[in-house]
């Protein structure tokens, strides 16, 4: 029997948390022979902590053989202690009339605190995946506070966007989902993201040859993927939760699977024209469990370059909004 992995989850009583924890405990994220201890962190709010107790009761009631313990806390020092994975989902939502700059700053303070604490108390092999929005910039902020843990351990999630793009391409081409490969998300997890359709393949053919409607690829396809979150809110009256949790399972599982090729947001080293020091969605290949290399060398045409420049510009602006916080 392997030693249990300690998995810290912030915002654990929220809607993504509710869709995620049961899948981690069932083995979907780390495999069917990997025991886990869940370290659940919530905001110091009575209602949230009470809800968390209910979630823990339900986890108990599932009798998951792999679940070896549950910690419930509103103290991040306790929650991140010795954690091998830190899944940062909790964030302050954008309130009515709230400016984007204020949202960035309010979340910036949360992620500065969490970055510092993770660096101080998490396990030496700790890896961090950020979901709470604005995810790329929150990830950059948390990583800015780390002195012990290297910045490549900090990744943000763009996998939901990749999964959305894969499905849209399959539907348009009228093929099974599994026929669509190598669709990657570049840039910010926001409507400015770029799903690089030109490199995707459908039944082994380049996507633009399989779907010859280039106006659809450049227009409605990119727009549908970029604005899918808003469409779900409009339809469901609440933001994506089960699909976001599922995407995080995919993000972490693929990062733990050598050879997997997938999109994650990582610290830019200038590839694809992204400014160094923004966290941008990119294609990566997992090398060893938890480690990856960015896949460089995909050619970008004029349309792709304009999309990359636009999403990079937004990331640079977000970084500027929080520059004074990170020093």
C-beta closer to ligand NAX: residue 110 or 200: 110
CB of 117 to ligand NAX, least distance (A): 11
Is residue 26 a contact residue for ligand NAX (CB under 6 A)?
no
CB of 106 or CB of 317, closer to ligand NAX: 106
Q: Does 93 bind ligand NAX (CB under 6 A)?
A: yes
**Token pair for 270:** 């200038």
- Which residue number places its CB atom closest to ligand NAX? 14
Q: How far is residue 40's CA from residue 48's CA, in Å, rounded to a whole number?
A: 11
- Tell me whether residue 165 or residue 211 sits nearer to ligand NAX (CB atom): 165
Tell which residue, 154, 97, 176, has the closest CA to residue 277. Answer: 154
Retrieve residue 201's tokens: 């393949």
Complex with ligand NAX: residue 16 or 211, whichever CB lies closer: 16
Verify whether residue 251 is a known catalytic residue. no
> Segment contacting ligand NAX (CB under 6 A): 40-48, 57-65, 142-150, 275-283?
40-48
Task: Scan residues 156-185 and list those touching ligand NAX (CB under 6 A).
Answer: 157, 160
Q: Please tell me whether residue 48 binds ligand NAX under the rule CB under 6 A.
A: yes
Which part of the chain contacts ligand NAX (CB under 6 A), choosing from 10-18, 116-124, 215-223, 279-287? 10-18
Applying CB under 6 A, the span of 65-73, 117-125, 130-138, 168-176 interacting with ligand NAX comes to 130-138
**Positions of E strands within 12-100:** 36-41, 67-73, 85-88
Among 36, 59, 117, 131, binds ligand NAX (CB under 6 A): 131
Q: Given the structure tokens 């940062």, which residue do they identify? A: 88
Q: H-helix or E-strand containing 20?
A: helix 15-26
Contacts of 267 by beta carbon, 8 Å cutoff, 6+ apart: 140, 143, 151, 152, 154, 277, 278, 279
49 binds ligand NAX (CB under 6 A): no
Of 249-308, which residues contact ligand NAX (CB under 6 A)? none
Interface residue with ligand NAX, options 4, 23, 43, 206 (CB under 6 A)? 43
CA–CA separation, 26 and 48 (whole Å): 24
Regarding 70 and contact with ligand NAX (CB under 6 A), the answer is no
What are 27's two structure tokens? 């083995």
- The span from the CA of 4 to the CA of 68, in Å, is 7
Instruction: Please report which helix (H) or strand (E) contains residue 170, including its range.
Output: helix 159-173
- Classify residue 15 by burial, with Cβ atoms within 10 Å: 0-12, 13-18, 19+: middle
Provide, rounded to whole angstroms, the least separation between the CB of residue 248 and ligand NAX.
8
Does residue 128 interact with ligand NAX by CB under 6 A? no
Is position 90 an interface residue for ligand NAX (rule: CB under 6 A)? yes
Q: How far is the CB of 128 from ligand NAX (least distance, A)?
A: 14
> Active-site residue among 189, 199, 251, 262?
189
Backbone angles phi, psi at 278, to 5 degrees: -95, 155
Listed in sequence order, the residues at least 6 apart from 318 whose beta carbon sits closer than 8 Å to its beta carbon are 104, 134, 136, 137, 188, 278
Q: Strands (DSSP E) along the chain, which ranges? A: 5-10, 36-41, 67-73, 85-88, 127-130, 154-156, 180-181, 185-186, 194-195, 201-202, 205-206, 261-267, 279-286, 292-294
Interaction with ligand NAX in 219-258: which residues (CB under 6 A)? 229, 239-241, 244
**Which residues are identified as catalytic?**
189
Per CB under 6 A, residues contacting ligand NAX are 10-11, 13-17, 41-43, 45, 48, 89-93, 110, 131-133, 135, 157, 160, 189, 229, 239-241, 244
């Amino acid at each position: 029997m392997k030693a249990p992995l300690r998995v810290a989850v912030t915002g654990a009583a929220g809607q993504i948390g509710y869709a995620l924890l049961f899948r981690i405990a069932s083995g979907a994220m780390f495999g069917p022979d990997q025991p886990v201890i869940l370290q659940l962190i919530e905001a110091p709010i009575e209602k949230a902590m009470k809800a968390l107790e209910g979630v823990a009761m339900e986890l108990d009631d599932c009798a998951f053989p792999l679940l070896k313990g549950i910690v419930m806390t509103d103290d991040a020092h306790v929650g991140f202690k010795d954690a091998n994975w830190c899944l940062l989902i909790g964030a302050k939502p954008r309130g009515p009339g709230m400016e984007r700059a204020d949202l960035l700053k309010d979340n910036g303070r949360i992620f500065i605190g969490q970055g510092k604490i993770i660096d101080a108390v998490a396990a030496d092999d700790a890896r961090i995946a950020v979901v709470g929005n604005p995810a790329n910039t929150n990830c950059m902020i948390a990583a800015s506070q780390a002195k012990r843990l290297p910045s490549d351990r900090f990744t943000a999630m763009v996998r939901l966007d990749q999964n959305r793009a894969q499905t849209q391409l399959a539907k348009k081409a009228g093929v099974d989902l599994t026929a669509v490969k190598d669709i990657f998300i570049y840039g910010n997890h926001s409507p400015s993201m770029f799903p690089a359709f030109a490199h995707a393949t459908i039944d082994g053919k380049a996507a633009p040859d399989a779907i010859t409607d280039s106006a659809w690829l450049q227009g409605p396809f990119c727009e549908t993927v970029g604005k899918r979150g808003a469409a779900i809110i409009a339809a469901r009256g609440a933001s994506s939760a089960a699909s976001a949790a599922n995407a995080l399972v995919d993000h972490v599982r693929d990062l733990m699977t050598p050879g997997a090729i997938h999109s994650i947001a990582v610290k830019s080293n200038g590839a694809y024209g992204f400014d160094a020091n923004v966290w941008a969605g990119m294609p990566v290949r997992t090398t060893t469990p938890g480690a990856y290399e960015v896949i460089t060398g995909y050619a970008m045409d004029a349309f792709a370059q304009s999309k990359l420049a636009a999403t990079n510009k937004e990331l640079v602006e977000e970084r500027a909004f929080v520059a004074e916080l990170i020093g």
